[in-house]
A and B are shown apart, each in its own frame.
Chain A
Amino acid sequence: MTGRAARLVIDDVRVSFGGVRALDGVSFAVEPGQIVGLIGPNGSGKTTLLDVVSGQLRPSSGRIVLDDEDLVDYLPADRSATGLVRSFQDCRLYPELSVEETVMVAFDGRRRTGVLSTTLRLPGARRAEAEKRDKVDGLLSSLGLTRFRRHQVAELSTGTRRVVDLACILAAEPRLLLLDEPTAGIAQREAEAFGPLLRRLHAVTGATILLVEHDVPLTVALCDRLVVMEAGRVVSAGPPQDVLEDPAAIAAYLGASHEALARSGAAATT
């Protein structure tokens, strides 16, 4: 299910809420197949930027270019059709649907369900539904979710919900993946397991990944490049080791960085 990795260009994006400039001319590119980490203090505009890229929020100016397509006028669902897939910080999913149905919905987004053919149970609709179900079965078993398939999402722990979210992402066959704090709200032990998991996700999908994450060691260990934001601007960008030593990045986010560096060094070798 490897899709062709996409190149993302964020070009001079500006967003204002009332008088506050949430994004003040953000520009950077994510090369195909790279994992880029977006870090910065709370309120620096990271999630706002993801919202602009995935279409939840319309920028007042600027362009979002995926390969050669300018996405700014696209609805979220249309962006998803170009292979742009995102996860959400709260990982809410659909509390009342079962795990199986939740992943089915991700397939529904790829392939429209015919009203008349489904109602009359025509062979075409039956086959499409059976194919979706097979794919879901395969995904669930490869992620170890089979026993949860009939559980409602609301019954799951946050960690399990994140794995279901991964299943949905895989189902959507991403070319560009936006991940918003995938380790938020889960236990430290589970968070540590996420590094290898994300690497596997990257290997399996072959997608370009833009990752927002507060866990600096994890981000440093995973990413090809880091982008540091502060107050709606990019203050530093480059390979992780360069950024960690960049005074601007240290002032904006990393703070007294020796401790962070030490911890990231430890994590990077695991």
Chain B
Amino acid sequence: MVAFSIPAWTVVAGLVNGLGYGLLALGLVLIYRSNRVLNFAHGQLGVTSAVLLSKLVVDLGINYWPALVFVLIVAAVIGAGTELILRRLFDRPRLLVMVATIGLSQVLFLLTLAPFIRPKTAASAYPLPFHSGFTIGNGLAAHHFTGADVLTLIVAPLAALALAVFFARSPHGLAMRAMAENADSARLAGVWVRRTSTLAWVIAALLSAVTAILAAPAKGNGFVEVLGPDLLLRALAAALIGAMTSLPIAFAAGIGIGVFEQVMAWNVHSDPALQTIMFAVLIAALLVRVRGLRTGARDEERSSWRFGVAGRMAGAGGVEALRRQVGWAGVALAIGAAAVLPALVSQGRAFLLSRIFVFAVIAVSITVLTGWAGQLSLGHFGLVAVGAIVASRLAPHWPLPLVLMVAGLMSAAVAILVGLPALRIKGLYLAVSTLAFALLMQTAVLNTPCWKSPLFGFHACTGLPDPASQYIARPSIFGISLVSERAFAWFALAVLVVVLGIVRVWRDHGLARAFVAVRENEIGAAAMGIRVARTKLLAFALSGFLAGVAGVCFALVTQRFKADAFSASQSILVVSMVIIGGLGSVQGAVLGAVYLIGLPAAFGSGVTTQFATSGIGLLVFILYLPGGLAAVLTKLGDAVTGFLASPSEDVLPAADIVEVVTS
């Protein structure tokens, strides 16, 4: 390791990146201030405009400046339209709105694929108003800055300045703050809430478009992923350092993070180590800032999902028993069908069935953590990865049931570590820290077979033995070979059924009602003697155990996999599953997996169909069917019960309870 140094060019390069983070952070803070939403679609809001700019200038030969004006108008329209869609959700739990923005970002991504937006010649360079750059240093140490970098250095500060002037000179800044604190009071005080909210989203979309246009040249024309999760996380860290409220601090923090990252990259020479450092920065920002964030934002911490209230049969005993029988019959029917299916379909389709069963296990593990305990995890594939690592190292040598147990326990231990911040960080911020954890697993841990400490010569082998491409032969279980896809599908189904049985026991026989109680009313549960910290960590541990078990199956289904298979987008996909299925419902989680893995496969797998089913599915279900597929199932069960029940058994009227008690 060389001595620590800070060459001038690293600072300038860091400044270029940092200005981008700062602009993104401004947009995140703006939306948070006006709607109390962490906007995961923020990056994607402006990407459509950036893609369209390339189409107009390169494909159609339109002059840069009028094209720029046009795409900024497009961004404003997208911003206003987004607000119009999300407005329906403003009285719902904030976590749910955040998940809705994830769905929205996927839909916006689909928009960039449309032929009237996407440029035909993907290989050509991204348009720039000028190309003159400059060079710092000479000889081998020289570093060239392109016209795109110059553009960023000029435009980003101007954009931030324009925003500052807008807030200083117009009454909208104050109106936005008032609205965020209490929309109803603001409305009574004369703030036109809808217009103010729309304005915030339009400004955010414009900021996003500027960011995307500035960032696009450096990425070539493959900029649909320009604003991926790693970029978003850096912007989030900056926004959090600004306590999600201060625009100047967030912008400055973005620049600081950019410079810090470049300087560290120059000195550390190792991407995993750099990612670990950036993760530490984010967690530190969260822990330091969390106190400031919690004051005045009490509502968002009461994360009751408020699902499943409607459509319950609160009837006489006979009907209730019949309804339960109908439910069991349905479950038996579904499991029976799933057991017969692998024998009927081709080997390829059996592979698909295995994938559905494995994803169903992961979705069920999210149901335990998010649906019951209310802790939103956007990094569940980090825990699945732990299981996969255990499988890759142990499956060839140990009997499979033992591997499953060990993987589950390891994953549970890691989950407890991930859950520790949950004792201090809540809701949205916990979700951010779990996302950061998943990114850390993907970029640092999986990619690094063994860590060694430079000072102590200490070795720790935590990653995949061969991160580039791992092959695992499927072992046998109880003397039965799992090599054929059919056999493996049955094995995966067996794991799923056992998991469903365990989860049923947790919910009906004691463990999980404390999870729900702590989610619904932490203070009340604590006053009744429930140990809140223990309960939350237990939820993480149980969920982690299931994720680890699923991780072994996940590794054995694909057999050949890379670290990329555990990306943040996979984590988001499984969260989409439980929301589409109906948050908190175990059957729903399974249905969600069938929908999100099975349906895209029916139309030919690919990112496009994946995003179409999950993105549009998320929005439709959150907006119009909050109970998810499980609610549909419940209604179906009620209808069957109603059909079977004799009409004489009617529902008891609700009586005034106090009279009953005191008489």
Residues of A within 8 A of B (CB): 54-56, 75-77, 80-81, 85-86, 88, 92-97, 101-102, 104-106, 108-110, 113, 115, 118-119, 121, 125-126, 128-129, 132, 143-145, 147-148, 150-152, 154-155, 157, 159-160, 163, 168, 172, 190, 193-194, 196-197
With CB as the reference atom, state the residue of chain A lying closest to B513.
A101
Interface contact B528-A95, CB-CB below 8 Å? no
For residue A56, which residue of chain B has the nearest CB?
A: B523
Residue among A81, A86, A109, A148 with the most chain B CB within 10 A? A109
Asked whether B114 is an interface residue with its Cβ less than 8 Å from the other chain, the reply is no
B415 to chain A, nearest CB (A): 14
Interface contact A105-B657, CB-CB below 8 Å: no
Q: What would 18 A/B residue contacts be, using CB atoms closer than 8 Å?
A: A56-B526, A80-B527, A85-B527, A92-B520, A93-B521, A94-B516, A94-B521, A97-B517, A105-B513, A110-B529, A113-B511, A128-B510, A157-B657, A163-B657, A163-B661, A172-B529, A197-B661, A197-B662
Q: Are A151's CB and B521's CB within 8 A?
A: no
CB-defined contacts of A159 to chain B, threshold 8 Å? 656-658
Residues of B contacting A85 in the complex (Cβ-Cβ under 8 angstroms): 527-528
B388 at the interface (CB under 8 A from A): no
A88 and B527 contact, CB distance less than 8 A: yes
List, in ascending order, chain B residues with CB within 8 A of A150's CB. 314, 320
Which one of B306, B506, B525, B661 lies within 8 Å of A118 (CB-CB)? B506
**Cβ A97 vs Cβ B505 within 8 A:** no
Cβ of A75: which chain B residues have Cβ within 8 Å of it? 526, 531
Among A93, A94, A118, A194, chain B packs the most CB atoms within 10 A around the CB of A94
A132 proximity list for chain B (CB < 8 A):
510
- Residues on B with C-beta less than 8 A from A97 are 513, 516-517, 520
| Docked CA distance A124–B254 (Å) | 56
**Are B516's CB and A96's CB within 8 A?**
yes
Residue of A nearest to B310 (CB): A155
Contacts A113-B511, A193-B662 hold; do A96 and B305 have CB atoms under 8 A apart?
yes
> Contact at A125–B509, with CB atoms within 8 Å?
yes
Give the number of residue pairs across the A-B interface with Cβ within 8 Å: 142
**Which B-chain residue is minimally distant from A142 (CB atoms)?**
B661
**Would you call B252 an interface residue if the criterion is a C-beta within 8 Å of the partner chain's C-beta atoms?**
no
Option from B305, B314, B530 in Cβ contact (under 8 Å) with A155: B314
**Which chain A residue lies CB-closest to B538?**
A115
Asked if residues B528 and A129 are in contact (CB atoms below 8 Å), the reply is no
> Quick check: B658 and A190 within 8 Å, CB to CB?
yes
In contact, B517 and A144 (Cβ under 8 angstroms): no
Cα A157 to Cα B656 with chains together (Å) = 9
Q: Which of A92, A94, A101, A193 contacts B658 (CB 8 A)?
A: A193
Q: Is the CB of B660 within 8 A of A113?
A: no
Binary contact readout B293-305 vs A (1 if CB under 8 angstroms, 0 otherwise): 0000000000011
A-side contacts of B520, CB under 8 Å: 92-97
CB proximity to A under 8 Å, residues B506-555? 506, 509-511, 513-514, 516-517, 520-521, 523-532, 538, 542
B652 an interface residue at 8 Å Cβ cutoff? yes
Bound-complex Cα distance A92 to B524 (A): 8
List A contacts of B538 (CB < 8 A).
115
Chain B residues with CB under 8 A of A154: 306, 309
Residue B339 interfacial (CB < 8 Å): no
CA of A190 to CA of B663, assembled, Å: 12
Q: Which residues of B contact A54 (CB under 8 A)?
A: 527
Interface residues of B in 567-585 (CB under 8 A from A): 584
B531 partner residues in chain A, CB cutoff 8 A: 75, 77
A163 to chain B, nearest CB (A): 5
Q: Are A196 and B662 in contact (CB under 8 A)?
A: yes
Contacting residues, chain B, for A125 (C-beta < 8 A): 509-510
Contacts of A115 in B (CB 8 A): 511, 538, 542
With A144-B661, A160-B657 already in contact, the answer to whether A94 and B517 are too (CB < 8 A) is: yes
Check if B511 sits within 8 Å of A104, measured CB to CB: no
Complex CA gap A105/B529 in Å reads 9
13 further contact pairs, Cβ within 8 A, besides A108-B529, A190-B658 = A76-B523, A94-B524, A96-B306, A101-B513, A105-B513, A115-B538, A128-B510, A129-B509, A154-B309, A160-B657, A160-B658, A172-B528, A190-B656
Chain B residue, CB-CB nearest to A97 = B516
Bound together, the chains give a CA A150 to CA B520 distance in angstroms of 18
Q: Check A168/B528 contact, CB under 8 A, given A97-B520, A151-B314, A160-B657.
A: yes
Contacts of A190 in B (CB 8 A): 656, 658
A125 CA / B312 CA spacing, docked (Å):
29
Chain B residues whose CB sits within 8 angstroms of the CB of A155 once the complex forms: 309, 314
Residues of B within 8 A of A104 (CB): 510, 513
Q: A108 and B513: CB pair below 8 A?
A: yes
Task: Report whether A119 and B661 are in contact in the complex, using a CB–CB cutoff of 8 Å.
Answer: no
CB < 8 Å: which of B320, B513, B523, B657 contacts A144? B657
Please measure, in the bound complex, the distance between the C-alpha atom of A68 and the C-alpha atom of B509, giving whole angstroms. Answer: 37
Cβ of B523: which chain A residues have Cβ within 8 Å of it?
56, 76, 88
The interface bits of chain B over 315-344 (1 if a CB of A lies within 8 angstroms of the residue's CB, else 0) are: 000001000000000000000000000000
Does B502 touch A at the CB level, under 8 Å? Answer: yes
Which residues from chain A contact B305 at a C-beta distance below 8 Å? Answer: 96
Q: Is the CB of B527 within 8 A of A86?
A: yes
What A residues does B661 contact at CB under 8 A? Answer: 143-144, 163, 193, 197
Nearest Cβ in chain A — how far from B294, in angstroms? 14
Return the chain A residue nearest B316 by Cβ: A147
Q: Which residues of A contact B532 (CB under 8 A)?
A: 77
A77 in contact with B526 (CB, 8 Å): yes
A77 vs B312: C-alpha distance when bound (angstroms): 33
Contact B657–A118 (Cβ < 8 Å): no
Collect the chain A residues with CB atoms within 8 Å of residue B308's CB: 96
Question: Contact partner of B510 among A94, A102, A108, CB < 8 A?
Answer: A108
The contact of A105 among B307, B502, B514, B584, by CB within 8 Å, is B514
Return the 9 tightest CB-CB contacts between A and B, nearest first.
A109-B529, A144-B660, A80-B529, A76-B526, A94-B520, A160-B657, A109-B528, A113-B510, A193-B662
Q: Which of B612-663 contact A (CB under 8 A)?
A: 652, 654-662
Distance from B117 Cβ to chain A, minimum over Cβ atoms (Å): 43
Q: How long is the Cα–Cα vector from A243 to B441 in the complex, in angstroms?
A: 66
- CB-defined contacts of B526 to chain A, threshold 8 Å: 55-56, 75-77, 80
Closest Cβ of chain A to B521, distance in Å, is 5
Q: Which residue from chain A places its CB closest to the CB of B530 in the assembled complex?
A: A109
Bound CA span A219–B527, Å: 24
With A108-B513, A129-B510 in contact, do A77 and B530 touch (Cβ < 8 Å)?
Answer: yes
Contact call A95/B506, Cβ cutoff below 8 A: no
> Shortest beta-carbon distance, A196 to chain B, in Å?
6
A146 to chain B, nearest CB (A): 10
Q: How far is the CB of B514 from chain A (nearest CB, A)?
A: 5
